[in-house]
Amino acid sequence: MMAADAPLLDVADLGIQLTTSRGPAKAVREVSFTLRRGETLGIVGESGCGKSITALALLGLLPDSADVSGSIRLDGRELVGLADADYCKLRGNRISMIFQEPMTALNPMHTIGHQVAEPLLRHTGCSATEAKRQAIALLDRVGLPDPARRYDAYPHQFSGGQRQRVTIAMALACSPDVLIADEPTTALDVTIQRQILDLIADLVAERGMAMILISHDLGVIAENVQRMIVMYGGTVVESGTTDAVFSRMGHPYTQGLFRARPRLGARRGTRLATIAGTVPELADLPAGCPFADRCTLVVDACRAALPSLSEIGAGHGVRCIRTDAALSRDPAGVIA
Amino acid sequence: MSTAAKMSATTPLLEVRDLVQRYTLPRESLLRSPGEVLALNGVSLSLMAGQSLGIVGESGSGKSTLARLIMALEKPSSGSVLMAGRDLHCVSADELRRARREFQMVFQDPYGSLDPRQTVARIVAEPLTALENPDRETLRVRVASVLRQVGLRDADIDKYPHEFSGGQRQRIAIARALITQPKLIVADEPVSALDVSVQAQVLNLMQDLQEQFGLSYVLISHDLAVVDYLCDEVAVMYLGRIVERGRPEDLFGQCAHPYTRALLDAVPQAQAGAVRRRRQSVAIASQSFGSAGCAYAPRCPLADAHCREVAPALRALTAHHSAACHKAESVMALPPLVSEPHQPLVSKPL
Percent of chain B with pLDDT strictly greater than 90: 37
* Residue A32 belongs to a domain: yes
Domains held by chain A: number: 2
Confidence of residue A48 (pLDDT cuts 50, 70, 90): confident
Q: CB distance B346–A327 less than 8 Å? A: yes
Q: Which of the residue ranges A29-38, A279-288, B55-64, B275-284 has the most confident prediction, judged by mean pLDDT?
A: A29-38
- Tell me which of B167 and B219 has the higher pLDDT: B219
Q: Which long-range contacts (CB under 8 A, 24 or more apart) does A295-303 make?
A: A295/A252, A295/A253, A295/A322, A296/A252, A297/A252, A297/A322, A297/A325, A297/A326, A298/A322
**Same-domain pairing of A29 and A70:** yes
Least-confidence region, from A105-114, A283-292, A302-311, A315-324: A283-292
Cβ of residue A55 closer than 8 Å to a chain B Cβ: no
- Whether pLDDT at A162 is above 70: yes
Q: Report the distance separating Cα A207 and Cα B214, nearest Å.
A: 56
For A265, the closest of B276, B284, B339 (CB atoms) is B339
- Whether pLDDT at A331 is above 80: no
**Same-domain pairing of A83 and A204:** yes
- Whether pLDDT at B278 is above 80: no
For A189, the closest of B59, B166, B281 (CB atoms) is B59
Q: Report the distance separating Cα B225 and Cα B348, nearest Å.
A: 28
Q: CB distance A161–B284 less than 8 Å? A: yes
* Residue A168 belongs to a domain: yes
The DSSP call for residue B245 is E
Mean pLDDT computed over A239-248? 91
Predicted pLDDT at A4: 55
Q: Which residues of B touch A334 (CB under 8 A)?
A: 344-346
Query: CATH code at A33?
Result: 3.40.50.300
Least-confidence region, from A170-174, B22-26, B227-231, B290-294: B290-294
**Same-domain pairing of A88 and A218:** yes
Predicted pLDDT at B274: 62
* Residue A4 belongs to a domain: no
Least-confidence region, from A109-113, A238-242, A311-315, B241-245: A311-315
Cβ within 8 Å of residue A12, ≥6 positions away:
A32, A70, A71, A73
Q: CB distance A266–B281 less than 8 Å? A: no
Predicted pLDDT at A202: 87
**Same-domain pairing of A167 and A19:** no
Least-confidence region, from A57-66, A239-248, B69-78, B329-338: B329-338
* Residue A1 belongs to a domain: no
- Whether pLDDT at B339 is above 70: no
Q: Report the distance separating Cα A100 and Cα A222, nearest Å.
A: 19
**Same-domain pairing of A209 and A296:** yes
**Same-domain pairing of A226 and A184:** yes
**Same-domain pairing of A180 and A325:** yes
- Tell me which of A171 and B8 has the higher pLDDT: A171
Give the Å distances, CA to CA, from A25 to A46, A50, A170, A241, B151.
17, 11, 33, 30, 29
Q: Report the distance separating Cα B345 and Cα A249, nearest Å.
A: 6
Confidence of residue A287 (pLDDT cuts 50, 70, 90): confident
Q: Per-residue pLDDT tens for B131-188?
A: 888 888 999 999 999 998 888 888 889 999 988 888 889 999 999 999 999 999 999 9
* Residue A2 belongs to a domain: no
**Same-domain pairing of A107 and A236:** no
Q: Per-residue pLDDT tens for B229-252?
A: 889 999 999 988 999 999 988 888
Torsion of CA B32, B33, B35, B36, to 10 degrees: -160
Predicted pLDDT at A336: 33
From A116's Cα to the closest Cα of chain B, the distance in A is 23
Across chain A, mean pLDDT equals 87
Cβ within 8 Å of residue A84, ≥6 positions away:
A60
Q: Per-residue pLDDT tens for B283-309?
A: 444 444 556 788 888 888 888 888 888
Mean pLDDT computed over A246-271? 83
Least-confidence region, from A259-273, B98-112, B293-307: A259-273
**Same-domain pairing of A75 and A133:** no
The DSSP string of B159-217 is --GGGS-HHHHHHHHHHHHHTT--SEEEEESTTTTS-HHHHHHHHHHHHHHHHHH--EE
Q: Report the distance separating Cα A263 and Cα B293, nearest Å.
A: 34
Decide the pairing of beta strands B14-24 and B78-83: antiparallel
Q: Which residues of B touch A22 (CB under 8 A)?
A: none
- Tell me which of A32 and A333 has the higher pLDDT: A32
Residue of B nearest to A264 (CA): B225
Q: Is A318 exposed, middle or buried (0-12, 13-18, 19+ CB in 10 A)?
A: buried
Q: Report the distance separating Cα B72 and Cα A247, nearest Å.
A: 49
Least-confidence region, from B172-181, B282-291, B312-321, B325-334: B282-291
- Tell me which of A178 and B154 has the higher pLDDT: A178
Mean pLDDT computed over A142-152? 89
Predicted pLDDT at B9: 65
Q: CB distance B345–A194 less than 8 Å? A: no
Confidence of residue A333 (pLDDT cuts 50, 70, 90): very low
Give the Å distances, CA to CA, from B119 to A34, B142, B151.
47, 15, 17
Mean pLDDT computed over B80-87? 91
Mean pLDDT computed over A18-28? 85
Of A153, A173, A193, which residue constitutes the final position of a domain? A173
Q: CB distance B196–A335 less than 8 Å? A: no
* Residue A3 belongs to a domain: no
Q: CB distance A262–B229 less than 8 Å? A: yes
Of A157, A173, A189, which residue constitutes the final position of a domain? A173
pTM: 0.83
- Whether pLDDT at B58 is above 50: yes
From A207's Cα to the closest Cα of chain B, the distance in A is 19
**Same-domain pairing of A42 and A120:** no
Predicted pLDDT at A269: 64
Confidence of residue B32 (pLDDT cuts 50, 70, 90): confident
Least-confidence region, from A217-231, A242-256, A319-333, B235-249: A319-333
- Whether pLDDT at B350 is above 60: no
Q: Which residues of B touch A262 (CB under 8 A)?
A: 199-200, 203, 223, 225-226, 228-229
Predicted pLDDT at A185: 84
Percent of chain A with pLDDT strictly greater than 70: 95
**Same-domain pairing of A90 and A187:** yes
Q: Reduced to 3 DSSP states, what percent helix, strand and coil does chain B have, rounded to the nearest 5?
A: 35, 20, 45
Q: CB distance A222–B268 less than 8 Å? A: yes
Residue B14 near residue B216 (C-beta atoms within 8 A): yes
Mean pLDDT computed over B34-48? 88
Residue A229 near residue B304 (C-beta atoms within 8 A): no
Mean pLDDT computed over A220-231? 92
Based on DSSP, count helices (H) and strands (E) in chain B, helices before strands. 12, 12
- Tell me which of B335 and B5 has the higher pLDDT: B335
Residue of A nearest to B191 (CA): A262
Of A173, A193, A227, which residue constitutes the final position of a domain? A173
Backbone angle region of B313, left / alpha / beta, with phi > 0 → left and psi within -120 to 50 → alpha? beta
Least-confidence region, from A139-143, A176-180, B24-28, B213-217: B24-28
Confidence of residue B38 (pLDDT cuts 50, 70, 90): confident
Residues 197-236 (A) with a CB less than 8 A from some CB of B: 197-198, 201, 216-224
* Residue A261 belongs to a domain: yes
Which of A214, A221, A225, A274 is best to mutate for the B interface (most B CBs within 10 A)? A274
Residue B161 near residue B77 (C-beta atoms within 8 A): no
* Residue A164 belongs to a domain: yes
**Same-domain pairing of A79 and A220:** yes
> Which structural domain, as residue segments, surrounds residue A158?
102-173
Confidence of residue B281 (pLDDT cuts 50, 70, 90): very low
